[in-house]
Amino acid sequence: MPLSQNALKVLEKRYFAEGETWEDLCGRVTNKVAEDETSASARKKWARTYYELIHDLTFLPNSPTLRNFGRNNGSGSACFVLPLEDSRKGIFKTLSDAVDVQAYGGGTGMDFSNIRPRGDRVNSTDGRATGPIKTMGIFDYTIGDIIKQGGTRHGANMGILRVDHPDIEDFIASKTLEGELKNFNISVGVTDAFMRAAAQNDDYDLVFNDKKRKTVKARAIWNAMVAAAWRNGEPGIIFLDTINKHNPLAAAGRITATNPCGEQPLRPYSSCNLGSINLNAVVMGNWISGKACINWKKLESITATAVRFLDSVISTNHYPLEEIEQITKRFRQIGLGVMGFADLCIKLNLRYGSKDSVKIARKIMGTIYSQALETSGQLAEERGPAPFFEQFETGATPRRNGALTSIAPTGTLSVLADCSSGCEPHFGFNYTKACLDGEKLAMMPAVFREWLDKTGNNQLPDFFATTDEISLDEHIAVQAAFQNSGVDAGVSKTLNAPYHTTKKAVSKAFFRAWKAQCKGITFYRQGSRDVQALYAEVATAAKSADDTLKRGELKMRPRATTGPSLKMKTACGKLYVDPHFDNEGVIEVFIRTEGGGCTANTKALGVLLSYCLRAGIAPEALIKSMKAIHCTACTRAILSGKNVEVNSCAAGMGKGLDIALQNTPIYRKVMEQLEDAEVHFSEEGRPTTSSAMCPDCGSPLHRTSGCILCSSPDCGWSRC
């Protein structure tokens, strides 16, 4: 299948060597991996097999493999976890190691729970400890602002803190202000004991080095986590006991950290190379007419080849640290997963999140895992088992790879393959993806384009579901189906939800994910950040040159408009933002405050915004400017833990406009169904333009540009 324009942009920006083509890239990668074979004929055979798989976008290895193999000494692994000790030497050894890993193209995860709490006495210097959050700040600056990951992007990190650490409350609030710790994702490591305590609102001890420092209500910590995730998507949660209960490498020790996207819980100095099967490749039949099915034999064949490929990456790889090479070759852990699951659901005419889609997710992952086990067993006979099985008594049949499966987010890989990412639903069918150091890609999924090309019908069936149309329970059901049907490691999955989702709903979803044996969970509410990677484009009606507004001219407001009324909490009280639409788009906005704030100023801003909108200024430009405004009162309130939803009243106004624009089609439909206001006005027996007289001067009234005006030039009365 041909590469899309977006794929070519990404390849040229991140993957191609100078003058390289897609064919060249596939050749250098597969020839390098095939060097693991023992004979020239085997190398030639497998290089060709791998080439066809990657070139046809049926299977893609993770980005570092595509970028580095056969080109430089960079690593082919994407996921790393590093240890972190509570000493100056330990901290800066890990910082140095992280810099090396990032330079090789990998992302790092670290557990900061061993770092002593802020303010603790340091015996060697009689000083005071800065604590885990300040330590994270050192890593954030060094890795993110000084070192670029693999020379192509800023570093990616996961910072984890146990829920019983004395600094947990500060950790939860550490990313309240957007832009703080910008190169870190953060997650709270929770235990089953904490989850039970939170459910029952029991007391919970915060401890360090087995000494109790403070007793809190578990529900208070839980509520703070939920509120922070609801506010801007962080922290996420990793369920430590679930991870270790279902860890095939448990005999080697307990896991406390994951890679940056959470799909790889790893031991210290472990790494993993990932690869994803494009599920579009195993759908056969005419899906437009509802006659598609899965080619299970092909799925098994792709899996077998992919496992061999990923195992050979371990053998032919370059490693940033000697410790990482030793641990990786001891466990020989690979992470085979999928992408294109949402596409597959559409082609099978299944709504993502439905019971049937959950069943098919279980069957797909079960098939992949069964074949991966079989192939890894065969590789153990051919090449020898992973040393892990010789060093530890596991009770399992020795195989070539200690762990086999994982589902990554495939953010960039899915752009290359022109498919839906990982096991996520489609974000939309016409949206923008921000990547490539600020470059924006216009995204229209291939499955949607194919539907339009073959049917000419843009009225989509209900199985074309987007993330906002899928309930939190359905999101979790899909994640749990993959996790519990054959995923050794974890599943990268975000609960993308509409802006109006409540904190209570988030709390219920997190509990449901824990009970469903998910290994971690992340929540994101659309529009809750000023900057987000995916956002819907608002279609605007095309205008002819004759319709263009002249300088200083305002578009006339029709008698009837429609729109939402949105309430937000500020540091001064409640802010109400009511954007209103005509049949083309948003045309005005009414703003008021309650319980505090300056009523006159907010009303004036509403008038000015309305004039801007009626003057033809793009609402997106207004939104960007308004949401960038911060006020001291809101910032202070947020930092003190108060339930404030916006950075300023102005930012709230921008956010209100943003939310309304995401639902433009809804309001357009409402406007289409509204009666003509003037006709309705006349039918009610009220003044008409043919018989009514001006209430001010008694002159006849007439209609102009949808408004009723006095005919006397000396009067100027208007009903608009």
Q: Which amino acid is at 292?
A: A
Instruction: Quote the pLDDT of residue 540.
Output: 31
Query: What residues have CB less than 8 Å from 427, skipping those under 6 apart?
Result: 443, 466, 467, 496, 534, 536
- Provide the CATH number for the domain formed by 560-673 in this structure: 3.90.1010
Distance (Å, whole) CA 634 – CA 251: 49
Provide mean pLDDT across the span 106-123: 92
Yes or no: say if 526 and 497 are a contact pair by the CB < 8 Å rule: yes
Provide mean pLDDT across the span 195-223: 96
Distance (Å, whole) CA 4 – CA 181: 34
Query: What residues have CB less than 8 Å from 590, skipping those under 6 apart?
Result: 576, 577, 578, 580, 606, 610
Provide mean pLDDT across the span 649-675: 77
**How many C-beta atoms lie closer than 10 Å to residue 71's C-beta?**
16
Per-residue pLDDT tens over the stretch 148-203? 555 555 568 999 999 999 999 999 999 987 678 888 999 999 999 999 999 999 99
Yes or no: say if 413 and 276 are a contact pair by the CB < 8 Å rule: yes
Query: What residues have CB less than 8 Å from 51, skipping those under 6 apart?
Result: 26, 27, 30
Instruction: Quote the pLDDT of residue 662.
Output: 75
Find the range with the poorest average confidence among 50-59, 222-231, 287-296, 525-534: 525-534
Please tell me the chain's helix, strand, coil percentages from 3-state DSSP, rounded to the nearest 5. 40, 20, 40
Both tokens assigned to 624: 């960007």
Count CA within 13 A, CB hemisphere, residue 424: 22
The whole-model pTM stands at 0.77
Which is it for the CA torsion 51, 55, 58, 61, positive or negative? positive
Distance (Å, whole) CA 642 – CA 173: 11
Which is higher by pLDDT, 362 or 433? 362
Which residues are designated catalytic?
259, 261, 263
Q: How confident is the model at residue 542 (pLDDT cuts 50, 70, 90)?
A: very low
Strand partners, 107: 79
Query: What's the CA angle centered on 719, arms 713 and 720, to 5 degrees?
Result: 105
Residue with tokens 């050894």: 93
* Segment holding 600, helix H or strand E: helix 599-614
% of the chain exceeding 70 in pLDDT: 86
> Is 60 exceeded by the pLDDT of residue 225?
yes
Residue with tokens 């209960």: 245
Q: How confident is the model at residue 603 (pLDDT cuts 50, 70, 90)?
A: confident
Per-residue pLDDT tens over the stretch 670-702? 766 664 554 454 434 444 444 456 666 666 665
Find the range with the poorest average confidence among 112-116, 208-212, 308-312, 674-678: 674-678
Domain-by-domain residue ranges, the chain? Answer: 79-244, 560-673
Q: Is 662 exposed, middle or buried (0-12, 13-18, 19+ CB in 10 A)?
A: middle
Instruction: Quote the pLDDT of residue 326.
Output: 97
Q: How confident is the model at residue 544 (pLDDT cuts 50, 70, 90)?
A: very low
Q: How confident is the model at residue 532 (pLDDT cuts 50, 70, 90)?
A: low
Which of 254, 260, 520, 250 has its CA nearest to residue 403? 250
> Is 80 exceeded by the pLDDT of residue 298?
yes
Both tokens assigned to 566: 């949105």
Per-residue pLDDT tens over the stretch 620-644? 778 878 887 888 888 778 777 788 8
> Is 70 exceeded by the pLDDT of residue 449?
yes
Instruction: Quote the pLDDT of residue 439.
Output: 66
Instruction: Quote the pLDDT of residue 673.
Output: 65
